[in-house]
Amino acid sequence: MARFFTEREIRAVAVFLPLAGLLVAAVALFRPKSDPLEARRVEVAMERRMPADSIRLRPFDPNTADFDELLRLGLSKHEAVSLLKYRAAGKVFRIPEDLSLCYGISDSLYRRLAPWVRIGRRYAIAPREYRSGRVLPQLLAPSPFRIDTVSACYLRAIGALSKRQAEAFIRWRDLSGIYDMEELRDCYVVSDSVAAALEPYVIFPERRPHPVDAPVELNSADSAELRRVVGIGEKTVMRILRYRDRLGGFVSVAQLAEVPGVTESNYEKILKQICLDSCKIRKIDINFASPKELGRHPYMAPRTLRRLLKARQLKGGWSTAQELIDDHILTREEAARLAPYIEFGSAGGTADEKTTTRRDDAPEDAYPAEFQLETE
């Protein structure tokens, strides 16, 4: 029968096995016994933090902070060593939030350190311009401030605008000036929500009126002339012009209150700078005007318009405002508001011969005194 091992190999195995057994026995006998109390003491020492009165939170760079600096920030030895090992493994903190990814940093510790993290220029994600620090970690509570002197830093500190927005806002303000909320909202970097949040705190400077020789005539002024009136902003100018066109002209300055954007405080300023010429009012011929022209007038309600057109088709027309009341087309209040804006064309003749009659040519009882509106 063939032999698998030579005598020499058998002798070698016979010598090796006893020696290996002796080595295993020696290791088992001389291995130090574990001490649970000592292990716990070491663990407590690693978790021990600096005394509370020695902790001093201040800006630090997690990419360069050493062991002692981390301890002074309130980290335990275990947490500090974990962060250093994290860096030694080739990890880099590019943004402050990267600190939360370090396996030794708990969420509560990260929230406490986050406001003080400053990423150095070497590692920070800043492709064009290096910023020495982050935006203030805690927003300031807003307080009343003058819009003409506020700085970009303060607007950033209260969380109203970002750095670029604040700088753009300051350039806009210095170029054109801001004197009311409407002009504040006109700035392209200020959203409606930001403007609403700032409104309780903004103090506007007094606009210095341009010297004028005479008040602005409200019914003939163009947008440039109206813009000169203190209290009328750019958007309000367009609203006044659109409303004036629909109305046919103002017969009283009180009608300005019907224009969106004219507040009570602005109204008091405007009164001192305008005048009215009611002769420039554009009138509507109640007997011959088209439904579209009649319905465009802000004082002509849809229901009133339907009654008027139906009655006009049957009757042919009217000669006085009192007839409209008697026919239950208009109430006395509606007639009082519409009286300055309507005229009564002749009901006779052909369509080519129909001409409108000016208010001066109308009978004396065409507009009873009770329907006249006071003009200023």
| Domain limits, the chain | 48-116, 145-203, 216-280, 284-371
Q: What pLDDT was estimated at residue 146?
A: 92
For 349-362, letters b (16+ CB in 10 Å) and e give eeeeeeebbebeee
pLDDT: which is higher, 176 or 78: 78
In this structure, the dihedral spanned by the alpha carbons of residues 71, 76, 77 and 81, taken in order and rounded to 10 degrees, is -90
Q: What pLDDT was estimated at residue 121?
A: 74
For 262-279, letters b (16+ CB in 10 Å) and e give beeebeebbeebbebeee
The pLDDT mean for the chain works out to 78
Q: Which residues contact 158 (CB under 8 A, 6 or more apart)?
A: 139, 140, 141, 142
Q: CA-CA distance, 216 to 229, in Å (whole number)?
A: 8
**Which three-class secondary structure state does DSSP give residue 274?**
strand
pLDDT band at 120 (very low <50, low <70, confident <90, very high): confident
Q: What pLDDT was estimated at residue 374?
A: 38
Q: CA-CA distance, 243 to 275, in Å (whole number)?
A: 17
Q: CA-CA distance, 147 to 202, in Å (whole number)?
A: 6
Q: What pLDDT was estimated at residue 136?
A: 43
User: 261 in the Ramachandran plot: left (φ > 0), alpha (ψ -120 to 50) or beta?
Assistant: left
Q: What pLDDT was estimated at residue 50?
A: 55
Q: CA-CA distance, 113 to 260, in Å (whole number)?
A: 50
Instruction: Please tell me what DSSP assigns to residue 116.
Output: G
User: What values do phi and psi take at 263, rounded to 5?
Assistant: -85, 170
pLDDT at 370 over 90: no
pLDDT at 356 over 50: no
Lowest mean pLDDT among 152-161, 195-204, 268-277, 302-311: 268-277
pLDDT band at 40 (very low <50, low <70, confident <90, very high): low
What superfamily does domain 216-280 belong to in CATH?
AF1531-like domain (1.10.150.280)
Q: Which token pair is 19?
A: 């020696």
Lowest mean pLDDT among 130-134, 153-157, 272-276: 130-134
In this structure, the dihedral spanned by the alpha carbons of residues 255, 256, 262 and 266, taken in order and rounded to 10 degrees, is -120
Q: Which token pair is 75?
A: 């980290």
Asked if 311 and 329 touch (Cβ cutoff 8 Å), the reply is yes
CB atoms closer than 10 angstroms to residue 331: 12
Instruction: Please tell me what DSSP assigns to residue 334.
Output: H
Q: CA-CA distance, 178 to 185, in Å (whole number)?
A: 10
Q: What pLDDT was estimated at residue 145?
A: 92
Please say whether the dihedral angle defined by the alpha carbons of residues 24, 27, 28 and 34, taken in this order, is positive or negative. Answer: negative
pLDDT at 255 over 90: no
pLDDT band at 2 (very low <50, low <70, confident <90, very high): low
Query: Which of 258, 271, 288, 283 is CA-nearest to residue 355?
Result: 288
How far the first Cα of the chain sits from its last, in Å, is 138
